[in-house]
Amino acid sequence: MQFICNFCLSPIQHIKSEYLGRKIKCPHCNQKMVLPSYEYGAGRIIGDFIISSKIGEGSIGTVFLAKQRSLDRNVALKILSSKYTTEKGISSFLSEARIAAKLNHPSIVQVLFVGEDNGICFMAMNYIQGKTVRQKIDDHDQIPVDESLHIIQQVAEALHFAWEQEKMIHRDIKPENIIITMEGAVKLTDLGLAIQASECRKGMEISGTPFFMSPEQFAGEKLDTRTDIYSLGITLYQMLAGRLPYDGETLNTVAKQHFYEQPESIKNANPSVSDEVENLVAKMIAKHPDDRFQNMEELLNQIWIIRQTTAPNKDMIPGVHTISIKKLDYKVIEPPKPAYRTGKPVAPSSPKVKSLASTEEEEDSFNVSMKFIGACVAIIVTIIFVILLVYVSKSKKISQLESEMELIEKNFYETNMLNMQTEEDCMNIIAKTKNTEDPREKNVQLRARLVIAELKNKKNISSMKTFATELETLKKGMENKDNSVASTHERELAKVEVLKTIESEKLKADLENEKIKAKSEKESLQKQLEETLKNVNEQKKKDEEYKQNIFYAKLYSLVRQYKFPEVSAALDEFSQKGVLDQKKSDNLKERIQRFQTYCALLSKSGNKFYNITTPDGTVIKISDGIIEFNDKGALSSKKWYSLPVETLYAILSENVSGQTENKVKAEISLLIGNPEDAIKYAPDDQELKIIIDSSFNSNMDTLKSLASSSKKKAMLKLMLLQKEFGNIPKYKGQLDELKLSLEKNSTPSTEDE
């Protein structure tokens, strides 16, 4: 690890953990300094950042105030906890970075950089000076009604934007993740548990902070934006009441409260809360999602209506989908302690209000920015549309040329007639394909040239036949003349005929040469045509292989997510496009059906496999993807896809027929993301190999593309790819070679060894 010297500000490298808390000498200035006792103490260097102090804890990591050396600016540096530095943890960490980077919104903390330093994953975010809502509650017990609504309104705006743009669900809305800046702006942070709706499925791992989780989160149901509305409602309740609606001491107790209990009325803790506000909170935290606001738009409109009566001044109320970036100066008198703590009734205080200047100028600036972004998006969409239009137009032009050429060839070769129109049509096609580099257009051009050569050859042969007939007639006439009575005039005529004969012989020789030349040209064109046909066929073969690779890679991805309806739809789509022949399509459908059967049996079969003996113990029941075991009296429960293949096969063995043990084990291995075992169990299964090859090649293409823009991101993805495919000999060499290339091309730095 590295620390910065307090005296010369040079990096001190190669510091071992046992030196922490001790005095060391700087090798650059020879001054002695005491190292922090904590590995991430002040002065620790991580990549391009120097840690100053700890700010707080996130869902999967710790956040520090740090200085970025290259740009000399303060950032919030989030470091992934060592216990989460696993394939799954790194994936979640990168997911948070990707989602936050996509969401460019004034009320969402922006990610500036993500990287890795000797196994430490980190991301740099905008440093926000201010207080969290949690700190505000701790300082004042309760937050005044309209100020609470204002904060919730701004968070709802951020969540509305995230859902509309990326169908994102935050899953961890709570006071600790809402920051009020020194300027009064509201910022939503910590997207560590955020997930897109497309990735959300029933039975997935439960994540969140229990006090703020919706009932459907506890139940492992499929989520949507309504679960964030619930958590936002719990947050609003705590802001107004100064306490949580559900505060059980154990996880089970809290879960039962969320499912079955109704919270105490907010008015008991804060009499200043109106009926409208209490009804708003009640609807936000309704047990069933259908009883809540159905989207952020509904919630925002209701908050805006209520604030018409709660705000001291209507200028303080931003419109729906308007971001407030100016501090609201409520000048509220400090409220007394709430009745539920002191046991004495408390009368609500009357706040003193100071009018607030309008924020129209800031709103106009934001609207201009949004218009500019919209214009950029429109331009990009237009460019993509034009490119597609050009591609479709060119493909249509080539198809039309091919159709014209087929008609010309049919008329020429079938009728065998010497037609001047045929030559003209071929010349037109050659003119249309002049200077082309497209293999299909070259092929059409050569076919046209070949027809012209054939036409020329036929003309020469016809001319030669005509001259030969005339010459024969002349010779016969000469033989029939009676020389005895021939006059001088006749002898002169005979001389003329002889001269004609000589000319005819010469012309015959010229025609023979033309014939040889035409034949040579025809053979040359024939070779070129064969070569272009070969190139066209090779290109078609590559296109077919590429389409199949795309399909199989997509298939593997969907199977790993257990999205079988989407798999079937993709299979039908690619079959209709001719990517797969009928036999391959039927075989794949059978395999997908088996995959679906395995998943159904291993996730929702109740007591069907009761008392089945496996390497992990005796099965008790299977429910919602969790298998419960009894191992010699010790009870345990595990997600089915985390179990070894042998255990899963022991459960399924009596319920699969027509397949060998190794084939079933190979398919189970593929289903749980273990391609190495899949190949081991079924080395001769070509279809299985194609699926794995396609997935690997697709990931490698993505990785190489990523390497050109961010080597550190590429290294993180490479780690995940090595874990999945690195033990397979045919892939190991490629992965090792790419790793060496990335390390070789990395910019030299002062990172730890």
Most confident of 188-202, 339-353, 508-522: 188-202
At 471 the pLDDT is: 60
How is residue 339 written in tokens? 């009745």
Contacts (Cβ under 8 Å, ≥6 apart) of 339 = 268, 269, 271, 345, 346
Tell which residue, 679, 743, 601, 639, has the closest CA to residue 116. 743
Distance of CA 541 to the CA centre of its chain: 28
Lowest mean pLDDT among 87-96, 601-610, 684-693: 87-96
Q: Which residue has the higher pLDDT, 77 or 206?
A: 77
Contacts (Cβ under 8 Å, ≥6 apart) of 293 = 226, 229, 283, 284, 299, 302
Angle (CA) 328-332-337 rounded to 5° is 135
The mean pLDDT value for 725-729 works out to 87
Lowest mean pLDDT among 100-104, 116-120, 213-217, 747-751: 747-751
At 354 the pLDDT is: 35
Counts for the chain of helices (H) and strands (E), in that order: 22, 19
- Is residue 281 within 8 Å of 240, Cβ to Cβ? yes
d(CA 499, CA 370): 93
Half-sphere exposure at residue 544, Cβ-oriented, CA atoms within 13 angstroms: 11
Q: What is the DSSP letter of 604?
A: S
Q: How confident is the model at residue 178 (pLDDT cuts 50, 70, 90)?
A: very high
At 389 the pLDDT is: 53
At 494 the pLDDT is: 62
**At which residue do the structure tokens 């399509």 appear?**
585
pLDDT exceeds 80 at position 496: no
At 341 the pLDDT is: 37
pLDDT exceeds 90 at position 275: yes
pLDDT exceeds 80 at position 19: yes
How is residue 752 written in tokens? 């730890």
d(CA 700, CA 294): 41
At 36 the pLDDT is: 92
Distance of CA 545 to the CA centre of its chain: 22
- Is residue 184 within 8 Å of 327, Cβ to Cβ? yes
The mean pLDDT value for 658-685 works out to 90
Tell which residue, 284, 304, 287, has the closest CA to residue 295. 284
How is residue 255 written in tokens? 């879960």
DSSP string, 441-466: HHHHHHHHHHHHHHHHHHHHHHHHHH
DSSP string, 141-185: SS--HHHHHHHHHHHHHHHHHHHHHH-EE-S--SGGGEEEETTS-
β-sheet bridge partners, residue 201? none
Catalogue the long-range contacts made by 642-648 (C-beta closer than 8 Å, 24 or more residues apart): 642/672, 643/616, 643/672, 644/615, 644/616, 645/669, 645/672, 645/674, 645/677, 645/681, 646/614, 646/615, 647/614, 647/615, 647/616, 648/598, 648/602, 648/672
At 12 the pLDDT is: 93
Distance of CA 204 to the CA centre of its chain: 20
Give the amino acid at 390: V
Most confident of 178-192, 381-395, 553-567: 178-192
Collapse the DSSP code of 120 into the 3-class scheme (helix H, G, I; strand E, B; otherwise coil) and give the result.
strand
Burial class (CB in 10 A: 0-12, 13-18, 19+), 401: buried
d(CA 537, CA 556): 28
Give the amino acid at 742: L
Give the amino acid at 607: N
At 504 the pLDDT is: 64
The mean pLDDT value for 13-41 works out to 91
Tell which residue, 133, 231, 138, 232, has the closest CA to residue 187. 133
At 336 the pLDDT is: 41
The dihedrals phi and psi of 436, each to the nearest 5 degrees, come to -80, 150
Lowest mean pLDDT among 55-59, 506-510, 627-631: 506-510
Tell which residue, 247, 242, 237, 244, has the closest CA to residue 346. 242
Query: b/e map of 93-113 (b: 16 or more CB within 10 Å)?
Result: bbbbbbbbeebebbbbbebbb
pLDDT exceeds 60 at position 409: yes
| 578 Rama class: left (phi>0) / alpha (psi -120 to 50) / beta | left
pLDDT exceeds 70 at position 463: no
| Percentage of the residues of the chain whose pLDDT score is greater than 70 | 81
pLDDT exceeds 70 at position 53: yes
At 48 the pLDDT is: 92
pLDDT exceeds 90 at position 518: no
Q: What share of the chain is helix, strand, coil (3-state, %, to 5)?
A: 60, 10, 30
How is residue 352 written in tokens? 């003193």
The mean pLDDT value for 453-469 works out to 70
- Is residue 254 within 8 Å of 210, Cβ to Cβ? yes
At 486 the pLDDT is: 47
What's the pTM? 0.45
d(CA 630, CA 618): 5
The dihedrals phi and psi of 572, each to the nearest 5 degrees, come to -65, -40
Collapse the DSSP code of 90 into the 3-class scheme (helix H, G, I; strand E, B; otherwise coil) and give the result.
helix
Half-sphere exposure at residue 157, Cβ-oriented, CA atoms within 13 angstroms: 24
- Rounded to whole angstroms, what are the CA distances from 295 to 70, 213, 302, 304, 307? 43, 17, 11, 15, 19
At 333 the pLDDT is: 36
Is the C-alpha dihedral spanning 278, 283, 285, 286 positive or negative? positive
pLDDT exceeds 60 at position 402: yes
Q: Which residue has the higher pLDDT, 472 or 50?
A: 50
Mean pLDDT taken over the chain = 80
pLDDT exceeds 90 at position 633: no
Query: b/e map of 255-279 (b: 16 or more CB within 10 Å)?
Result: bebbeeeebeebeebbebbeeebbe
The dihedrals phi and psi of 67, each to the nearest 5 degrees, come to -110, 130
pLDDT exceeds 50 at position 43: yes
Q: How confident is the model at residue 649 (pLDDT cuts 50, 70, 90)?
A: very high
| Percentage of the residues of the chain whose pLDDT score is greater than 90 | 30
Torsion of CA 651, 656, 661, 665, to 10 degrees: -60
d(CA 343, CA 304): 34
d(CA 676, CA 4): 45
d(CA 525, CA 211): 80
pLDDT exceeds 60 at position 751: no
How is residue 242 written in tokens? 């100064």
Q: How confident is the model at residue 507 (pLDDT cuts 50, 70, 90)?
A: low
- Rounded to whole angstroms, what are the CA distances from 233 to 67, 105, 145, 228, 230? 36, 22, 14, 8, 5
Q: How confident is the model at residue 353 (pLDDT cuts 50, 70, 90)?
A: very low
Radius of gyration of the chain (CA): 40
**At which residue do the structure tokens 């440093």 appear?**
127
Torsion of CA 421, 424, 425, 426, to 10 degrees: 130
At 505 the pLDDT is: 66
- Is residue 163 within 8 Å of 295, Cβ to Cβ? yes
Lowest mean pLDDT among 166-175, 335-344, 702-711: 335-344
